[in-house]
Structure 1
Amino acid sequence: MATQQQQNGASASGVLEQLRGKHVLITGTTGFLGKVVLEKLIRTVPDIGGIHLLIRGNKRHPAARERFLNEIASSSVFERLRHDDNEAFETFLEERVHCITGEVTESRFGLTPERFRALAGQVDAFINSAASVNFREELDKALKINTLCLENVAALAELNSAMAVIQVSTCYVNGKNSGQITESVIKPAGESIPRSTDGYYEIEELVHLLQDKISDVKARYSGKVLEKKLVDLGIREANNYGWSDTYTFTKWLGEQLLMKALSGRSLTIVRPSIIESALEEPSPGWIEGVKVADAIILAYAREKVSLFPGKRSGIIDVIPVDLVANSIILSLAEALSGSGQRRIYQCCSGGSNPISLGKFIDYLMAEAKTNYAAYDQLFYRRPTKPFVAVNRKLFDVVVGGMRVPLSIAGKAMRLAGQNRELKVLKNLDTTRSLATIFGFYTAPDYIFRNDSLMALASRMGELDRVLFPVDARQIDWQLYLCKIHLGGLNRYALKERKLYSLRAADTRKKAA
């Protein structure tokens, strides 16, 4: 599956050399980023010893292997591998992809003590990309998956002192800090939290306090009211300590937990910014689902949103998913090559190849006006209204002022026996909802730096920079946004998913 260049130059690649024969455990491969990491390892590192996937069973597919075959291996992310050599791809899945039925949030991942210990002895490295990326998640759920489950990650690593741990976090653990954000431990922008002499923050008391507040809410409410109260609690606590949402707050807490638990051991934290469609690999524009920026793009394309809170001069930090996957793999190779260290890398574009929100909007509007018909799943017709970014105060005044008379008109229509909802009122509510969730990200006053990541790429050598590019300076933003990304949304995210099935193992054996 490796290209001829890779086969001939493997000895010159530090990454391929470090990963040869190694066994890597990965979580989160049912998600967007996890699939791209998995695909890249299979395609580019043919001599890897084994890839172990921790997968939670579900009602339809209770066993990990069954879910893997039906929900992961069937994904279009593997089209390139299937096209290049389908037989080799399926053989690799059979022989070197090992599926473990387990739940990252459960003690020992839900495994027996013996199986948990055996797993620790089998793997050389652990890539944890499992997370809840719901910005307005109920606090108990976000705390469980983004913070507390890392106790289980640490417990596995404690059984194997040589294990390298790669934790996928987010640049937005930055919270409400402004200015140049470096690859370092982030100081909370809100209420004070004690800091250890090793640099991380002591969060045990804070976590207990949050759990007490969660218990109090659960004792007083139930059903949908309880869900809303837990969402509100998460946002309130996040704001109090310096974050805009529950997701980034609990991801920051998770970083602190791991830094303390794995002090003196090998821990690499990789922080991507806003992850969007692939620049080149596995194919230009590959994406799964609608991501952060896409929700707003889709609302504009469907003419539901034309006004949004944002700062046109602010740098919106978007990074293609393949650059993030490459960053994870580079950091994995480095972690396997050295002694226990704590490293932090940010995979981002703002510090080296910035694009302003204004330019981002202008590129997309220009493409929509001239080529909307090329994106038939995205645009139903040529957009007739511009997409305007205004400051938050003006946005609230305009939207709030429009909503009051429209609400009155809607009530009057219902009293008159007309039950249909005013379209403009529905669109306003869509705008307000999107603004509540994403408004913080469209008015940035920070710039993420990736100097350490670029230094890592330089240390890895020329061939690895070709095989695993991480430099955002290669992005032509107009080409990427107008052709690659919109094309990817149209082809992959908004069309009915094409499923691939694997030939049965016995069928291949008979054919052989």
Structure 2
Amino acid sequence: MQLHSHNATEKEVKSAMKDLGIQRAKLHGWPNTYSFTKAMGEMLVLAFADNLCAIILRPTIITSTYKEPFPGWIEGARTMDIFVLMYGKGKSNFMIGDPDSILDVIPVDMVVNSMLAAVVHHDHNRRERSSPSSFIYHIGSSDSNVCRPLKLCDVISMMYRYFTNNPWTSMRGEVVKVREYVLLPSITSLRRYITIHYLPLLQVLKLMNMLLYHYFDDKCAAVEKNISMVIRFAEIYRPFDGSNTKRLITATRSGNMSEIFFFDPNCIDWEDYFINTHFPGVVKY
């Protein structure tokens, strides 16, 4: 109501509500509204756990299929794939991040299989009285692939190699040549990088736009939107325990169900998966 009383535009109202949501989430210890509202949903499930046969699954970053129904399938661009596509299309070659940080990703077919396996397992053991924590499953890969963890620098390197060998072709038929990716250590360094490398070009573009009677209106808006998007993602996305899922994997093996419900990420060769399966799937689908 206060925003409308000050004649705020819909864009300003939307931005203010997003900021308010993040403030409220952080007040209760959550990094963003996405994780906050998911936690609220889980709290409701736990509150009625005595009267419900419920299972909670918490997948990490979900990527394209590993093998079912076929390798590389994905519906739309989500989470890390937005950065992959922006890089491949030549729209952005920088982001904030520690090159040695471990990325916790899991193919979507493994998420589905773990869900089905959990349902079967709990149905067979429904008479056992379990604590609420026993039906919460963290579906990820970081604590399974401990000998060969997937690091951010590895994915960046694979992105560069993939789009160098398989360049994106725009709708105009132009082949996009990607540059090496730049990882920045903090939000301050990110803003500094944008100020040095992009804002001067944007100011020149705006000046030309004025001189040419707003000929570059769309271009200016697109550049400003991309800059705002990168900063927004850096601000929003600032240890995952998979022990229950490991026990579930063991249970499927002992019950001869491991081939039907295949979801052990320890077998994944990340380089082969990203170069030959995930990146091609993101581009295709």
**TM-score normalised by length of structure 1:** 0.48
Pick from 235, 250, 273: which aligns with 2:22? 235
> Is residue 2:225 matched to residue 1:433?
no
Give the letter for the 2:150 counterpart. Answer: I
Q: Structure 1 pair 411/367, CA: closer, same or farther in 2 (3 Å)?
A: closer
> Is residue 2:111 matched to residue 1:315?
no
Instruction: Point out where structure 1 has 5 or more consecutive residues left out of the alignment.
Output: 1-214, 494-512
Q: CA RMSD in A?
A: 2.9
User: Residue 71 of structure 2 aligns to a residue in which SS?
Assistant: coil
Give the letter for the 2:23 counterpart. Answer: R
Q: Structure 1 pair 380/290, CA: closer, same or farther in 2 (3 Å)?
A: farther
The structural deviation recorded for 1:407 is 4.2
The structural deviation recorded for 1:317 is 1.2
The structural deviation recorded for 1:221 is 7.7
The structural deviation recorded for 1:298 is 0.6
User: Deviations along 1:296-351, whole A, 9 cap, x unmatched?
Assistant: 11100111101111111111111100000011101111222213643111110111
Instruction: Point out where structure 2 has 5 or more consecutive residues left out of the alignment.
Output: none
Aligned match of 2:263: 470
Contact preservation (8 Å) 1:407, 1:425: no
The number of residue pairs the alignment matches comes to: 272
Aligned match of 1:485: 278
Contact preservation (8 Å) 1:399, 1:428: no
Deviates more, 1:389-398 or 1:222-231: 222-231
Measure, in 2, the Cα distance between the counterparts of 1:380 and 1:333. Answer: 51
Give the letter for the 1:256 counterpart. Answer: M
Counterparts of 1:285-434 in structure 2, within 5 Å, are 285-337=72-124, 338-339=126-127, 341=130, 342=132, 343-353=135-145, 354-372=149-167, 381-392=175-186, 393-418=188-213, 419-421=215-217, 426-427=222-223, 429-434=225-230
Measure, in 1, the Cα distance between the counterparts of 2:116 and 2:141. Answer: 18
Aligned-residue sequence identity (percent) comes to: 26
Deviates more, 1:423-432 or 1:268-277: 423-432
User: Residue 304 of structure 1 aligns to a residue in which SS?
Assistant: coil
User: Residue 291 of structure 1 aligns to a residue in which SS?
Assistant: coil
Measure, in 2, the Cα distance between the counterparts of 1:331 and 1:223. Answer: 47
Measure, in 1, the Cα distance between the counterparts of 2:247 and 2:7. Answer: 51
Give the letter for the 1:344 counterpart. Answer: I
Aligned match of 1:171: none
User: Deviations along 1:131-156, whole A, 9 cap, x unmatched?
Assistant: xxxxxxxxxxxxxxxxxxxxxxxxxx
Measure, in 1, the Cα distance between the counterparts of 2:217 and 2:55. Answer: 51
The structural deviation recorded for 1:387 is 1.4
Measure, in 2, the Cα distance between the counterparts of 1:297 and 1:260. Answer: 39
Measure, in 1, the Cα distance between the counterparts of 2:196 and 2:68. Answer: 46
User: Residue 289 of structure 1 aligns to a residue in which SS?
Assistant: coil
Give the letter for the 1:310 counterpart. Answer: G
Give the letter for the 1:489 counterpart. Answer: V
Contact preservation (8 Å) 1:308, 1:431: no
Counterparts of 1:84-103 in structure 2, within 5 Å, are none
Aligned match of 1:272: 59
Measure, in 1, the Cα distance between the counterparts of 2:20 and 2:138. Answer: 29
Counterparts of 1:6-21 in structure 2, within 5 Å, are none
Contact preservation (8 Å) 2:89, 2:176: no
Aligned match of 1:459: 251
**TM-score normalised by length of structure 2:** 0.84
